[in-house]
């Protein structure tokens, strides 16, 4: 459809703008942090002369605007810049961190959709019934447990007491595919909260959709309850859940800091934390670009889905 294409084009353009805005925002926030890379590098030897020298060597004595422009200039040639701290190209650092992150995020997302949609639909079958209450209660409870606490719990039980899986990813060198047993606990912890969020949204949406005149109409037309549920109600119920899913995908990319720390997985979250603490602005900027691009793409997908699903209400009219 051509209106769709125009919409898509506009959204992509917007996406570029958003990513640019994001990079500037992150740059401004990082600049606003107290201290700079020179101070962070000097650590507990904050000899003022030494800090000045480091600052000069790193080019931090130039103005913020100048440094940002420089970096943007490099970006135009596909150059993400060089880490202030290690002198390694930012692209290399990101590439190192991206592998484990993608594996972790991919596996989690793949399991997340069927699991949470299934749970949501199951709970919505009979609102207030025993299944619904069990699922709702369980999701409400698990959702309330912070990952670090859940992580400590599952490591203690499944790795240290029962010895079924390794407690950390140490020794894999970041190559998680080669050691699938290492993935079990991190993925379990990562799944815990999004499954709760999304299944609850699916449940609420399903109950609404099943009660809508549209579904009633479908039933009157003699469609089987199963068909009404899966083919007609579910798509409507997925609209809000789709947005949440998009959000979860963003989060899987950079927000899994806690899980990376607990299980010693050298992913992007770890790179991020280190870069912020060291005030390594080029690395933080490079990450902002990655996050921006991914978010734009994922949200675009979610909006596409919403556009496809929600208009059904019109069709029903």
Partner 1 sequence: MSRTTSPIPFGDRLPASRRVFLAAGGAGALALAAGCAAGGSADPGPHPGAGNEGTPRRGGRLRAAFPGGGANENLDPHQANLFVEVARAKALFDKLADYGADLAPVPRLAAGWEADQSLATWRVRLRRAAFHDGRPVTAEDVLYSFRRIADPKRAFRAKASLEPIDLAASRALDPATVEFRLKRPYAEFANTLAAFGAYIVPKDADAFERPVGSGPFTFGSFKPGSSLVLRRNDRYWEGAPHLDEVEFVVAAEESARTNALLGGQVEYAHELNPATARVHEGKGRITVVRLRNSAMQGFVMKTDRPPFDDPRVRQAFFLIADRRQLVDGALSGAGEVGNDLFGKGYRYYAAGLPQRTRDLTRARALLREAGAEALRVTLDTAPAATGFVEAAGIFKEQAAEAGVTIDVRIGNKDTYWKDILTGGTIASYRSGAMPIEAHVSQRLLTDSTTNASRWRVKDFDDLYQQIQSTSDETLRTALYERMQRRLHAEGGFLIWGFADWIVATANRVRGVSVTAPANTLDWARFDRVWLA
Partner 2 sequence: MSERGKRGGPGSRRPVARRYALALGLIALPLLFAVFGPLFAGPAGARGVSFTGGQGHWLGTDFAGRDVWRQVLLGGRSVVLVAVAATGAAYLVAIPLGLAAALTRRTWLAEVLIRPLDVLLAVPSLLFVLLVAALFRPGPAELVLVVALVIVPDAARVVVSAATEIAARPVVEALRMQGESWWRTAVGYVARSMRRTLAADCGIRLAGALYLVATAAFLGVGVAPDASDWAVMVDRNRVGLFLQPWAVVVPAALIVALSMGTNLLFDAALQDPDERVGERL
Q: Give the whole-angstrom CA distance, residue 169 versus residue 142.
A: 24
Could you tell me which residues come within 8 angstroms of residue 206 by beta carbon, excluding any fewer than 6 positions away? 120, 121, 124, 229, 233, 234, 237
Nearest alpha carbon to residue 154 among 191, 111, 125, 118: 191
Torsion of CA 170, 175, 181, 183, to 10 degrees: 90
Distances (CA, A) of 283 to 41, 91, 158: 15, 9, 36
Binding mask 207-226 for partner 2 (x = CB under 8 A): xx-xxxx--x----------
Q: Give the whole-angstrom CA distance, residue 202 versus residue 194.
A: 12
Given candidates 82, 192, 244, 270, which one binds partner 1 under the rule CB under 8 A? 270
**How many other CB atoms are found less than 10 A from the CB of residue 120?**
26
Closest separation in Å from C-beta 128 to partner 1: 41
Check residue 167 for interaction with partner 1 (CB under 8 A). Answer: yes
How many of the chain's residues bind partner 1 (CB under 8 A)? 55
Check residue 44 for interaction with partner 1 (CB under 8 A). Answer: yes
Check residue 254 for interaction with partner 2 (CB under 8 A). Answer: yes
Closest separation in Å from C-beta 69 to partner 2: 21
Residue 41 binds which of partner 1, partner 2, none (CB < 5-8 A, kind-dependent): partner 1
Residue 205 binds which of partner 2, partner 1, none (CB < 5-8 A, kind-dependent): partner 2
Q: Give the whole-angstrom CA distance, residue 72 versus residue 69.
A: 5
* Helix, strand, or coil (residue 89): strand
Provide φ and ψ at 165, rounded to 5°.
-135, 160
Residue 128 binds which of partner 2, partner 1, none (CB < 5-8 A, kind-dependent): partner 2
Q: Smaller CB distance to partner 2: residue 172 or 196?
A: 196
- HSE-CB of 246 using CA atoms within 13 angstroms: 19
Residue 50 binds which of partner 1, partner 2, none (CB < 5-8 A, kind-dependent): partner 1
Closest separation in Å from C-beta 59 to partner 2: 22
Nearest alpha carbon to residue 238 among 191, 307, 188, 314: 307
Closest separation in Å from C-beta 231 to partner 1: 46
Residue 191 binds which of partner 2, partner 1, none (CB < 5-8 A, kind-dependent): none
Judged by the rule CB under 8 A, the positions of this chain that interact with partner 1 are: 33-35, 39-51, 53-54, 57, 83, 85-88, 93, 96-97, 152, 155, 159-160, 163, 166-168, 170-171, 173-174, 257, 261-264, 266, 270-271, 273-275, 277-280, 283
């Amino acid at each position: 459809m051509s209106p769709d294409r125009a919409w898509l084009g506009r959204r992509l353009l917007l996406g570029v703008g958003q990513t640019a805005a994001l990079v500037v925002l992150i740059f401004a926030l990082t600049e606003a942090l107290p201290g700079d890379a020179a101070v962070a590098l000097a650590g507990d030897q904050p000899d003022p002369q030494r800090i000045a020298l480091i600052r000069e060597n790193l080019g931090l004595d130039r103005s913020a605007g100048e440094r940002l422009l420089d970096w943007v200039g490099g970006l135009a040639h596909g150059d993400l810049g060089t880490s202030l701290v290690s002198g390694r190209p930012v692209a290399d650092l990101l590439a190192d961190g991206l592998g484990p992150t993608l594996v972790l995020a991919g596996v989690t997302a793949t399991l997340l959709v069927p699991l949470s949609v299934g749970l949501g639909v199951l709970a919505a079958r009979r609102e207030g019934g025993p299944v619904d209450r069990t699922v709702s209660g369980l999701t409400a409870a698990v959702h309330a447990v912070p990952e670090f606490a859940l992580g400590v719990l599952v490591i203690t039980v499944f790795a240290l007491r029962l010895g079924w899986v390794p407690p950390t990813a140490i020794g894999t060198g970041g190559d998680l595919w080669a050691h699938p047993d290492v993935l079990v606990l991190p993925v379990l912890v990562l799944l815990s909260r999004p499954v709760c969020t999304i299944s609850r949204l699916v449940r609420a949406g399903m109950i609404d959709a099943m009660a809508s005149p549209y579904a009633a109409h479908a039933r009157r037309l003699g469609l089987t309850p199963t068909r009404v549920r899966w083919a007609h109600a579910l798509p409507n119920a997925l609209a809000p859940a789709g947005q949440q899913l998009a959000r979860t995908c963003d989060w899987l990319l950079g927000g899994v800091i806690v899980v990376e720390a607990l299980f010693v997985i050298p992913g992007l979250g770890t790179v991020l934390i280190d870069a912020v603490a060291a005030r390594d602005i080029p690395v933080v900027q490079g990450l902002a670009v990655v996050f921006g691009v991914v978010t734009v793409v994922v949200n675009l997908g979610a909006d596409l889905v919403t556009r496809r699903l929600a208009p059904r209400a019109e069709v029903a009219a």
